[in-house]
Amino acid sequence: MSDEQKDKTRTQFGASADAYATSDIHARGESLAMLLALVKPQGNWHALDVATGAGHTALAFAPYVAHIVAADLTQEMLAKTAELAAERGLTNLETRVADAEQLPFEESAFDLVTCRLAFHHFPNPRQALGEFARVLKRGGVLGFTDNIVVPDKQAAGYYNAYEKLRDPSHHWVYPLVRLQSMVEEAGLKVQVARQLSKELEFHAWADRQHASETVKEKLLEMMRNIPSALEPLFAPRWADGTLYFSLWEVVIVAQKGGA
């Protein structure tokens, strides 16, 4: 990552560690249970969770593997992860400061690499995927989730501008076909890809990144004027004095090289 992008990520997420620790979407979202079920982690595996945030994915996988490293760029997030692990009595989880695009681990060090709801922050996504593949053992598994967008380029640009207005550290969300292509180009064979939709309440979503009232008004105005191509994705509805909208997410399980 560029130094500027790293600083944005640290600033945004350092201030939001508590909010992400209690976020239902991150702590108990449908994609987490689906990822766990599809990966089928093994008791002798050594695992790495990249861009762990508040550690929800690492915490979910820890009881099923021999050891897991929860890695993130932000110290505050790692402190929250360690706190939650201690509360749950998880002694096989360690935290490590790490840039997803320059992982400080040896080649073929892990049986499993996970990355959940973080990829859209990486300015060099192919480099990150190359790092995931590098640190995986031959036959190792990538368990991955991220948001996805419609393939229409203009609509995708509008969507990403919306996300970036709320969170300046946001980089880009990709259509599923492009995301799968990037995974395959990194030498990881996609085994399964499952798409799902998640509904969010606007203010909780905006407040998680400390959006100002001015920014909220701009976001609401953008939602009132979304391109028609984004209607199936956002599916906005106004109820109980607030806005509810959806995001699309994909769960991908891929394997490196061969057993």
Task: Specify the pLDDT at position 259.
Answer: 54
For the chain, how many residues are written?
A: 259
140 within domain boundaries = yes
Range of the domain at 81: 3-160+167-201+249-256
Residue 8: what pLDDT? 52
The answer to pTM > 0.85 is: yes
Specify the pLDDT at position 71: 98
Where residue 110 sits, what CATH number does that domain have? Answer: 3.40.50.150
- pLDDT of 257 reads 87
How many domains, the chain? 1
Instruction: Give the DSSP letter string of 34-61.
Output: HHHHHH---TT-EEEEET-TTSHHHHHH
Is 56 part of a structural domain of the chain?
Answer: yes
Q: Is residue 223 a part of any domain in this protein?
A: no
pLDDT at 29: 82
**Would 206 be classed as within a structural domain?**
no
Vertex 74, ends 115 and 17: CA angle to 5°?
Answer: 90
Over the chain (259 residues), the average pLDDT of each successive run of 10 is 54 49 59 97 98 95 98 95 96 97 98 97 96 98 98 98 96 98 98 97 95 98 98 97 97 88
pLDDT of residue 140: 98
